[in-house]
């Protein structure tokens, strides 16, 4: 057990999927895993371990924002031996060619700051995905016929952003989408020499105002979970 995770030794798998929402973790575990067992309920942050095609998998909520994710990623790696961590979450598109329901695979993640930025001081560390996961996820998405975009994203440290000038520059420089966790996940994984990837479903569009209807979210998010699972065990 740790301060934030109540799982017993051996109850966390080496492969962990990390949705931000603990109830999305519950839905994903019950939908995609065989015999899922709840292994954590501390602070309402649900975690479940089961199997997918005979492979042990944990699906564990990470909360909203990089500070919250950093807590869970550190403890899952340091105290439970997680080797592969894949964020599954939603994102807002920042390029006109990207549509809601599309999947974005984050090759890199730009950020203003992360909980780890104090370690680097003057260095602008460039957090990036694990190539084996990234390439396997791209292949899995293509096989499923899911429209997918691979490239850089932006991990914001605030949800209610009031910097349209910054968003304009990121769009100009090809940033695909915005979310709030991937940069810190990639940084923590690099620190411990672990594999990490963010697989993101576009739920809304910053430029067009389009948004994924609530009734379509489950099916679209399901594609993302399947891509993540296939990538993890390719």
As annotated, the active-site residues are: 204
Contact 7, 37 (CB under 8 A): no
Q: Residues 53, 96: contact at Cβ < 8 Å?
A: no
**DSSP states of 174-185:** T--EEESSHHHH
Cα gap 127→188, rounded to integer Å: 9
Which H helix or E strand runs over 170?
helix 164-172
Instruction: Please give the annotated binding residues, written as ranges.
Output: 4, 20, 24, 43, 87-90, 179-181, 203-204
Q: Report residue 156 as tokens.
A: 């914001």
Indicate the annotated binding residues for a purine D-ribonucleoside. 4, 179-181, 203-204
Show binding-site residues for phosphate: 20, 24, 43, 87-90
User: CB–CB of 2/45 below 8 Å?
Assistant: no
């Amino acid at each position: 057990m740790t301060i934030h995770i109540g799982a017993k030794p051996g109850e966390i798998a080496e492969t962990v999927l990390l949705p931000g929402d603990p109830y999305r973790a519950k839905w994903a575990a019950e939908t995609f895993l065989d015999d899922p067992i709840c292994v954590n309920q501390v602070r309402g942050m649900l975690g479940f371990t089961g199997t997918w095609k005979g492979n042990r998998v944990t699906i564990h909520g990470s909360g909203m924002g990089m500070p919250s994710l950093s807590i869970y990623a550190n403890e899952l790696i340091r105290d439970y031996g997680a080797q592969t961590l894949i964020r599954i979450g939603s994102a807002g598109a920042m390029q006109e060619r990207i549509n809601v329901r599309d999947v974005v695979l984050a090759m890199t993640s730009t950020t203003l700051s992360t909980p780890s930025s104090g370690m680097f001081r003057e260095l602008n560390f460039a957090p990036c995905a694990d190539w084996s996961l990234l390439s396997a996820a791209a292949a899995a998405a293509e096989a499923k016929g899911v429209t997918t975009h691979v490239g850089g994203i932006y991990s914001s440290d605030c949800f209610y952003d009031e910097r349209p000038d910054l968003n304009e520059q990121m769009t100009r420089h090809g940033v695909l989408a915005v979310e709030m966790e991937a940069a810190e996940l990639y940084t923590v994984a690099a620190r411990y020499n672990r594999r990490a990837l963010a697989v993101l479903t576009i739920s809304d569009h910053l430029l067009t105002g389009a948004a994924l209807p609530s009734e379509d979210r489950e099916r679209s998010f399901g594609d993302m979970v399947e891509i993540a699972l296939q990538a993890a065990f390719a």
